[in-house]
Amino acid sequence: MAEIDFLSAVHRRTQRDYLGRVNEFPKAEAAKIAKKFGQEYWDGDRKLGYGGYRYDGRWRAVADQLAAHYQLKAGDRVLDVGSGKAFLLYDLTQAVPGLIVRGLDVSAYANEHAKEEVRPFLDLGTAAKLPYEDNSFDLVISINALHNLHCYDLDLALREMERVGRKNKYLVVESYRNEEEKANLLYWQLTCESFCTPAEWEWWFKHCGYTGDHSFIYFE
């Protein structure tokens, strides 16, 4: 298991006004709306989520790095747990023609508004109970999703990623290293349920038997 950063360049493209976020709209109300993971979260006002999440190619660089690092090739099977609108999955199919992809998300809206090319390969479900056979995938990824789970479902989700992956796994979760980053995370987030330092996340990985790679997103 290694810490490998493929995401920082994408994460840092967004300029964030942390105090503005927490003051512009009642945070509790925004969180209640966002946690429905419907239209308002994906394509509504920015204070309720993404503020319009549309394909712009930002994930292609990540797809290229994943393909190179894990030596993906035609015929390999990749699962994205928490795939959202499946932009990364689509870019993976462009980076590696012939790749077999599958995505799973709790949001019916996200699946219905995903990239058309990969929409047939998306499933509705929860990370805590993946509807796939043991050792089904050569690479299992989860990008910015697992921190949205309560601890009991996080435990199950990490074990499920391990179960269905026969080779490589990679996940990204939000974290904090100091009080400033902790405050920024609390101000910015809308859907998080698990707030952990890197050491605490690593405890979770060991506790659940997760053997894959990982990286952390910080709100600096």
Digit-coded pLDDT (tens) for 31-74: 999 999 999 999 999 999 999 999 999 999 999 999 999 999 99
**Residue 31 falls within a domain, yes or no?**
no
Q: Is the pLDDT of residue 196 over 90?
A: yes
Classify residue 37: in a domain, yes or no.
Answer: no
Query: What does the pLDDT read at residue 14?
Result: 86
Residue 50 lies in a domain: no
Q: How far is CA 69 from the centre of its chain?
A: 18
CATH of the domain at 89: 3.40.50.150
Burial (Cβ within 10 Å: 0-12, 13-18, ≥19) of residue 120: exposed
Q: Is residue 134 part of a domain?
A: yes
Q: Does residue 32 form part of some domain?
A: no
Which two tokens mark 1? 């298991």
Give the pLDDT of residue 147: 98
Among the listed residues 94, 44, 27, 37, the one whose alpha carbon sits nearest the alpha carbon of residue 64: 94
* pLDDT tens-place string over residues 97-110: 999 999 999 999 99
Contact between 88 and 59 (Cβ < 8 Å):
yes
Does the pTM surpass 0.85? The reply is yes
Q: Is 30 among the domain residues?
A: no
pLDDT at position 12 is: 87
Q: Is 79 within the bounds of a domain?
A: yes
Q: Is residue 49 part of a domain?
A: no
Give yes or no for residue 1 having a pLDDT over 90: no
Q: Domain count of the chain? A: 1
**CA-based nearest residue to 200, from 127, 156, 162, 151:** 151
Q: Which domain holds residue 213?
A: 8-17+56-188+198-217
pLDDT at 15: 86
- The average confidence (pLDDT) of the chain is 97
